[in-house]
A = this chain, B = another copy of it.
Amino acid sequence: MKKIEAIIRPEKLNDVKSALEDGGFVGLNISHVTGRGAQKGIVHSGRGGETYTVDMLPKLKIEVVVKDADADKVVDIVSGAARTGNIGDGKIFIIPVEDAVRVRTGERGEVAV
């Protein structure tokens, strides 16, 4: 199995979620991260002349664990749905998963994901 770890723009979440569902991939987890990359941050201003450039931007991390065979398909779905073509679109990482367990039943292996 593989864990597909995708860092995406928050505003692309709904697109990515729907695309995955359409592709038959329902199970997933989302968490908030702040990321730094080539992309510039937002400038925040204070009372007077004070401004802050926030060098990190809010991103979402989507994690989907899939059978080895599905890995490329999921990568394509996510990268298609998350793309805007601008700097800051994010990354997808593919990480090996040795085993998986469904807590409810104790089943292990590919049936569990």
Residue numbers of A with Cβ under 8 A of B are 1-3, 6-8, 17, 26-38, 56, 59, 61, 63, 65, 75, 78-79, 82-104, 106, 112-113
Contacts and interface: CB of A to CB of B under 8 A. Distances in A.
B100 A92 contact: yes
**Copies held by the complex:** 3
Closest 6 CB pairs of A and B: A89-B104, A89-B103, A92-B101, A94-B99, A29-B33, A31-B33
Given A33-B30, A36-B26, A103-B8, A95 B96 contact: yes
Residue from A27, A61, A85 having most chain B Cβ neighbours under 10 A = A27
A94 B100 contact: yes
A89 B101 CA distance: 11
